[in-house]
Amino acid sequence: MCLLRQRRRWYNDDMPELPEVETVKRGLHRLLPRKQIVAVTFDWQKSFPNAPSDVKKFMIGAKVRSVTRRAKVLLIELDSGYSLVIHLKMTGQLVYVEEGKKQKAKSSRSKSEYIGHGPDSSLVRFGAGHPNSSLVGKLPDRSTRVVIDFGSAKLFFNDQRKFGWMRLLPTVEVPNINFFKKLGPEPLEAAFTADDFILRMRRRNKSAAKAVLLDQTVIAGVGNIYADESLFSAQIHPQTIVANLTNGQLAKLYTDLKDVLLLSIKHGGSTDKNYVDAEGNKGSYLTFANVFRKNGQPCPRCGGMIHKTRVAGRGTHLCPDCQTVEE
DNA sequence: CACTTGACCTGTCCGC
DNA sequence: TGCGGACAGGTCAAGT
């Protein structure tokens, strides 16, 4: 019975963070520009709270100009002067399905195998979720919140837990919404230096290091996985008060955080063994993770046992033996 | 004012 | 088997 349970288990809490959203962005930017929206449907008000009249006026007939990313937020700019702002939160996903276009002749794959086979696929999945789940080939389903119809293709915004949202805003207003106004710098921007990082961290000198990393107004785009992984690399206990960290330790955290993010992007921004990126590659970041979801396993650095605890209200993975505590 | 905790959600897992 | 509670976490609001 236990075996059966284990086998059937799949995680839907893929938690798109900066590397995952970056991967989604790259895929959408390859597929969406110049496509024209012919229809939009949505069934969950909170997922897409815009007035239908605005949707009709500024979305229908508009063409996609570009797809970009800021922190964990996707921006789809339209040529109507409006942009779609999309936050996938934990379980949001964007599934792009081309219609009326039969599978390539060379392929004899079943429908459920379309996913993950790259540009030849007629169906490409972005974001969280399980590529082999019943979603495949059966969209829309009960998790579908919004469908953007491009005529020859549809973009499905699915979100099981309804935390994600999508908003249509005048492009010039986008930087002015609260979320963007308060957002900290992108950690991978060339202009973001170690000194900037240290200064910003020190503004929250009394808080636990992990809580500060997760604060999007300090640095944008870091979530639970990369917070745990970067703190492990820098050998900092997640609970450590920032004031008790030296500038040297913070500088190492800065470097390790960037390394972790870059490594994840390189491997398809995976947070889940089942994640599939735009090119159809399974993201493999979790195989590089040292502590995340490794509780009970030996620490790759010192051989101690990885422990799971709770810091800043979040499940937190660490090696108590080589991530020192400084209260 | 600075910082922490709870609410929003649904599906899954685990203990009783 | 079934039921209830814990858990998953990004962000904002409410509480300390």
Give tens-digit pLDDT for A102-112. Answer: 323 222 222 22
Q: What is the pLDDT of residue A99?
A: 76
* Closest to A103 (Cα-Cα) out of A82, A87, A119: A119
Q: What is the pLDDT of residue A282?
A: 55
A160 touches strand B (CB under 7 A): yes
Q: How wide is the angle at C-alpha A177 spanned by C-alphas A175 and A180, nearest 5°?
A: 60
The pLDDT confidence band at residue A23, using thresholds 50, 70 and 90, is: confident
Residue tagged 């005529």 (tokens)? A151
Task: Please state, in angstroms and rounded to a whole number, the distance separating the CA atoms of residues A215 and A207.
Answer: 11
Which nucleotide is at minimal CA–C1' distance from A162?
Answer: B9
Q: What is the pLDDT of residues A235-272, one digit of tens each?
A: 999 999 999 999 999 999 999 999 999 999 888 775 55
Q: What is the pLDDT of residue A111?
A: 26
How large a percentage of chain A has pLDDT more than 70? 78
Asked about A189 being catalytic, the answer comes back as no
A70 touches strand C (CB under 7 A): no
Q: What is the pLDDT of residue A150?
A: 95
Structural contact between residues A270 and A20, judged by C-beta atoms closer than 8 angstroms: yes
Sheet strand arrangement including A64-70:
A64-70, A73-78, A82-87, A165-170
Choice among A109, A202, A314, A326 that is catalytic: A314
Q: What is the pLDDT of residues A171-185, one digit of tens each?
A: 999 998 888 888 999
Mean pLDDT of chain A: 80
Q: What is the pLDDT of residue A52?
A: 87
DSSP letter string over A37-103? Answer: --EEEE--GGGS-S-HHHHHHHTTT-BEEEEEEETTEEEEEETTSEEEEEE-TTTEEEEEEE-S-PP
Q: Is the pLDDT of residue A15 over 80?
A: no
Q: What is the pLDDT of residues A54-104, one digit of tens each?
A: 999 999 999 999 999 999 999 999 999 999 999 998 888 888 888 754 323
Instruction: Give residues with Cβ within 8 angstroms of A228, minimum separation 6.
Output: A210, A238, A291, A292, A316, A317, A318
Q: Is the pLDDT of residue A223 over 60?
A: yes
Asked about A57 being catalytic, the answer comes back as no
Segment A192-211 mean pLDDT: 93
Interatomic separation, CA of residue A145 and C1' of nucleotide C13, rounded (Å):
25
Instruction: Give residues with Cβ within 8 angstroms of A59, minimum separation 6.
Output: A37, A40, A78, A80, A82, A84, A148, A168
Q: What is the pLDDT of residue A283?
A: 64
Task: Please state, in angstroms and rounded to a whole number, the distance separating the CA atoms of residues A9 and A315.
Answer: 19
Asked about A314 being catalytic, the answer comes back as yes
Segment A44-61 mean pLDDT: 90
Nucleotides of B under 7 A from a protein CB: 2-6, 8-14
Choice among A69, A72, A210, A252 that is catalytic: A72
Backbone phi, then psi, for A176, in 5-degree steps? -90, -10
Query: Nucleic chain C: which protein residues 173-232 of A have CB below 7 A from it?
Result: 178-179, 182, 214, 216, 223-225
Segment A6-15 mean pLDDT: 40
Name the token pair of A327.
């209260």
A20 touches strand C (CB under 7 A): no
Q: What is the pLDDT of residue A76?
A: 96
B4 closest protein residue (CA to C1'): A312
Q: What is the pLDDT of residues A260-311, one digit of tens each?
A: 999 998 887 755 533 445 444 556 787 788 999 888 899 999 999 999 998 9
CA distances from A71 to A11, A104, A158, A220, A299 (A): 23, 36, 20, 5, 30
Highest mean pLDDT among A87-101, A112-126, A133-147, A232-246: A232-246
Q: What is the pLDDT of residue A107?
A: 27
Name the maximum alpha-carbon separation found in chain A: 63
Structural contact between residues A83 and A75, judged by C-beta atoms closer than 8 angstroms: yes
Q: What is the pTM of this model?
A: 0.85
Q: Is the pLDDT of residue A3 over 50?
A: no
Q: Where are the beta strands (DSSP E) in A113-223?
A: 123-127, 144-149, 153-159, 165-170
Q: Is the pLDDT of residue A327 over 70?
A: no
B12 closest protein residue (CA to C1'): A9
Name the token pair of A161.
């837990």
Name the token pair of A36.
């024209």
Q: What is the pLDDT of residue A128?
A: 56
Which nucleotide is at minimal CA–C1' distance from A130?
Answer: B11
